[in-house]
Amino acid sequence: MEIVAVYFIATVSIYLKRDNIMNIEEVKQKIAAQIPDANIEVVALGNGFDIIVKSAIFAELSELKRQQKVLGCLADAIAQGEIHAVTVKTYVND
């Protein structure tokens, strides 16, 4: 029996405030600073961000821990009101 690849998706939503919003590059930089091997995609959609993070470090983490890892990278921006809506999807890099 051959095992192909297994990917896990985790999603979290928080609301976005219109003033003092971070830009896409700032979001990517915050995540890359703490997850250096990650492949990061960020899309601004209306009043929120869709974030996809692929990393080998997710292989040993549960879906909840993956979300916490990514959201932890953005915690200060969330606390300061720079990010209010974000959808996070995480995948294990091969």
37-52 confidence digits (pLDDT tens): 999 999 988 667 899 9
d(CA 46, CA 40): 19
User: How many domains, the chain?
Assistant: 1
Q: Output the domain CATH number for residue 71.
A: 3.30.300.90
d(CA 51, CA 69): 13
The verdict on residue 62 lying in a domain is yes
The verdict on residue 10 lying in a domain is no
* 36 pLDDT more than 50: yes
d(CA 32, CA 26): 10
The verdict on residue 83 lying in a domain is yes
Predicted TM-score of the model (pTM): 0.76
